[in-house]
Each structure stands twice: as C-alpha cells, then as structure tokens.
Amino acid sequence: MSATLTDPEAIRGRFVEAMADRPEKLQKHANRVERGALHLAAVHELDRDICAAAAAGHDLFRHCKDAELLALSRSYSVPITEDELAAPIVLHGPLAAVYAREAMQVDHDEILSAITYHTTAHPDYSLESLAVFLADKVEPRKARNDPGLMAVAAAAEHDLYAAAAMFLERRLTSQLNSGQPLHPLAVASRNAFLRRAL
C-alpha cells in the first residue's frame, strides 16, 4: 500500500492523476474550478494548496448516474439518509471523500470536508472550503448559462459568506418553487453564512 498523503500539493497531484481517466468535460470543469478557487484564495489571502487540492478532487464521481452512486456509496459505507435517497447526486461529494481516504490514502480533514459537502456546503465550512464551493458554483461555463450567477461571483470578491448565502438562497428558492425537497444541510449552511456575512 502506498504512503498516506498529508501534503496538499501531493494530494492535488494524486487527484489530477485519478481525474485523467474521467470524462474530458469533467476534467475541464475541475480545471476551471481550480483556477476560480485559486483566484478567490489570492483575493481573500487563503491557503492556495488546500484550495487547489480540494478543487482538483471534488468531482471524482460526478460522472456517475444515480444507481451507480448509490451502489458505490453502499460499498464504501457512505451514510445515505432519506435526503440523499431523494437526490442521490448529493452523494458524489461524500463518496469522493471516502474513496480518497480509503483507496487513495488521502489524510487531510479540511480537504476531505471541502469535498464531502461541496453540493450543500456546511455550516462549519472553512474559508478555503467556501472558496472551492463558490468557484464550483459560479465557474465561467455555468455563469454563461445562468447570468444570475454573476451577482454571486461579484459578491464572492468581497465576502465569501454573503456570496455563499446568496447562492444557496437562489437554489433553495428555485427548489421550493418547483416542489423539490430541500437538503437540510443547505438550509443550515445558508442560515450560518447569513449570520457570518459582513
């Protein structure tokens, strides 16, 4: 078995290697997220290596369909709640983090937490995790298809908490309006970020 990875740069390298056999579209998305996260890291004086590593590995399982996500999550003992059963796509973050820890020997709690919760965010998210979360949500291709995201991107230049609260409010509102279930972590995160916004 290879050595445990604790250095963010080495972890990023391992994730980039693993992404090389993922669909090209997904690799390009991960590259855009990494660039965006590094930009936010520079603006807000955050740890660049943690941001880069979490961005590189956040979507290792984003290409999987719901049935595959459920099967893989069960085989890696990823907890599956009723909320995940209703929307299995949420599992691609927790599954990537558990797989990274168990199959790739990644041992870095903050990077793994950033990856685990990158769909819903988490009320205790670090600023590095928030930078990756926002870089993922407002990356250029998504913003081109949904110009409303430009306001979130602009807010992220000044206040990561305010921007994340704004993004989650947009998504929760649209889910409410279309009768979809709300993930409780997304609601708790929005409340926490609203309290912390400047």
Minimum distance of Fe ion from residue 78's CB (angstroms): 15
Minimum distance of Fe ion from residue 77's CB (angstroms): 21
CA–CA gap between residue 70 and residue 149 (Å, rounded): 30
Q: Is 84 in the site for Fe ion (CB under 5 A)?
A: no
What residues between 123 and 142 interact with Fe ion by CB under 5 A?
A: 136
Minimum distance of Fe ion from residue 136's CB (angstroms): 4
Using CB under 5 A as the binding criterion, the count of chain residues that bind Fe ion stands at: 3
**Nearer CB in complex with Fe ion: 116/126:** 116
CB 121 within 8 A of CB 164: yes
**Nearer CB in complex with Fe ion: 49/136:** 136
Minimum distance of Fe ion from residue 104's CB (angstroms): 17
CB 136 within 8 A of CB 160: no
What residues between 140 and 179 interact with Fe ion by CB under 5 A?
A: none
Structure tokens given for 150: 């430009």
* Bridge partners (DSSP) listed for residue 5: 106
Q: Is 59 in the site for Fe ion (CB under 5 A)?
A: yes
Distances (CA, A) of 39 to 3, 20, 45, 87, 153: 31, 23, 10, 31, 11
CB 73 within 8 A of CB 91: yes
**Nearer CB in complex with Fe ion: 49/59:** 59
* Bridge partners (DSSP) listed for residue 106: 5
> Which residues of the shown chain bind Fe ion in the complex (CB under 5 A)?
59, 62, 136
